[in-house]
Amino acid sequence: MKKYYITTPLYYVNGAPHIGHAYTQVVCDTITRFYRQRARHIFFMTGTDEHGIKIEKASIEAGFDEGKEKDFVDTIIPKFTSLWKRLNIEYDHFIRTTEDYHKKEVQNILQKIYDQGDIYPEVYKGFYCTPCEMFWSDTQAVDGKCPDCGRKVDALNEKNYFFKMSKYKKELVDKIEKDEIQVEPNIRKNEVLGFLNGNELQDLCISRPKTRLKWGIELPFDKDFVSYVWFDALTNYVSGLKHKKGDSFDDHWDNVMHVIGKDIIRHHAIYWTIMLMAIGQKPPQKIFAHGWWMVGKEKMSKSKGNVLDPIYLLDVKKYPVDAIRYFLLSQVEFGYDGSFSEELFIEKYNSDLANDLGNLLNRSLNMVEKYFERIVPSTDIGSDCLNKEAVDLYAELMYSYEHVCMKVDSFLQIDGNKIDFKTALGMLWDPVRRANKFIEVSAPWTCAKENNTKALALIMGTLVQVLGKTAVLLYPFMPETAQKMWEQLGMTNKVCDVNPEEFGALVIPVGTKVQKGEPLFPRLDKIG
């Protein structure tokens, strides 16, 4: 059986996590839960990037003495780990770049590349952007500003060490073009190839002199320098997996997917892949760069003061965690920019969660309680007891789950053709909406008045099975909601242990006693 490996980027700890970080985590957690529910091996790693000039400066600004950067970072880490716990992110390992095993791996890789002649010293003359941790030439830093962030750059004239990335350009282009390295979505693949084919690939400066930066991993071949923060951070994907998986490293690495934001696509698709090629390690199978979350038409950024804090949504607004997960996954096609506003959130919450899913569960269980004393009836009844319109909808519901289960699976595969949470959830919501319509068309209250017990049993039994299958398929996306549904349907086991690839027509056994609870998603008032 294949073993899979999924990673988030390492988050820089010069500030608290925001909704963009949460999105990446939810995406990786959803895929991980999807694989585990289907009894497949997957290893999920996340963590923090803790070195560099920005951390050194932030530490001093926070009142810590020079040399106490680790103490400063230790105060930030709980902001990340506690939020991931609140969002129900079930990662296997949290890596920190300040850990000894990681430092050792960074130095091993640096030494190997240096020994084979791919790292060389040279005096650098040009400009440096501290916020972006990037070097720029005279032609790139127009008017003394960083071409990426637009902030002022500093002039530099200093010795550094450079990595011969240019040596591997042709091989890298060939691998991306042949999809040996899958860069997704296609717009990002074209972006990377356009950059590589349209520019001379510059060798990468992989050091910082200790006279300018002490907070980093020391170069093994020159004690007066520390590693460039990106060379350090990218190595985590190897160091963490080796540390936790040891002998099974290669099995997991054969099926690895890096999930990142689009702003760091070059670092991963160019720097990282070339670093791996230089040490003779297979490049990653898939690099998926998702879009940004916007506030209005602007990207969230700390400098603009428009960063959306997930803790505000959870603790101040008291929005359910699964409602936040659902919005992030269903609002935008994976790979493209999305817009977050509370107005949009409430609209989608009321429409999809309160009106569709919550309403279906509540009214269905009310009727099972009213008509069958909470006992799930058999559906082993011919549909000719229903009216014609209800017969057609019943047939659609029976067919839809075979189709939905297969299609939802196809949109969450690491080694599949397309990952698309929005479409997968849209397909899962289709039978939910059909089931609500089925209630209106079949009119169980009329069947009860006419003593049409066969029709009543078929309707109630069908609704319970629809809800059971929905709960099972919904689990990777909304784990708390799925379990609550499962328990209200009378089940005592864990919904995460039910493999959708194995269930048949009956997910909830006939004779089960349902346990109606509080409404899943009470409607929210509109803002203003």
Q: Which fold has domain 341-497?
A: Isoleucyl-tRNA Synthetase; Domain 1 (1.10.730)
Torsion angle in degrees (nearest 10) through CA of 345, 351, 357, 363: 130
Average pLDDT over residues 314-342: 96
The per-residue pLDDT for range 275-288, each reduced to its tens digit, is 999 999 999 999 99
**Domain residue spans of the chain:** 3-290, 341-497
Q: Considering the entire predicted model, what is its pTM?
A: 0.95
163: alpha, beta or left? (left if phi > 0; alpha if psi -120 to 50): beta
For residues 180 and 283, the answer to whether their CB atoms sit within 8 Å is: yes
What gap in Å lies between CA 153 and CA 130, rounded to an integer? 7
Q: Report which of 457, 454, 474 is spatially closest to residue 520, judged by C-alpha positions.
A: 474
Using CA of residue 475, residue 479, residue 481, residue 484, what is the dihedral sign? positive
The per-residue pLDDT for range 121-158, each reduced to its tens digit, is 999 888 888 888 788 888 888 889 998 888 899 998 89
CA angle 382–384–386, rounded 5-degree value: 110
Higher-confidence residue: 373 or 298? 373
Distance linking the first and last C-alpha atoms of the chain: 54
Confidence (pLDDT) at 227:
98
Confidence (pLDDT) at 303:
63
Q: Give residue 405's identity as a one-letter amino acid code.
A: C
Q: Does domain 3-290 have CATH number 3.40.50.920?
A: no
Pair of tokens at residue 431? 């039978």
Confidence (pLDDT) at 292:
95
What gap in Å lies between CA 15 and CA 210, rounded to an integer? 24
The per-residue pLDDT for range 58-81, each reduced to its tens digit, is 999 999 999 999 999 999 999 999
Element (H, E) at 469: helix 453-474
The per-residue pLDDT for range 149-208, each reduced to its tens digit, is 888 999 988 999 999 999 999 999 999 999 999 999 999 999 999 999 999 999 999 999
Pair of tokens at residue 318? 């008291």
What gap in Å lies between CA 382 and CA 175, rounded to an integer? 57
Q: How far is CA 90 from CA 117, 309, 479, in A?
A: 41, 20, 11
Confidence (pLDDT) at 128:
86
For residue 463, what pLDDT band results from cuts at 50, 70 and 90? very high
pLDDT above 70: percentage of residues in the chain? 99
Q: Report which of 109, 210, 122 is spatially closest to residue 161, judged by C-alpha positions.
A: 122
For residue 304, what pLDDT band results from cuts at 50, 70 and 90? low
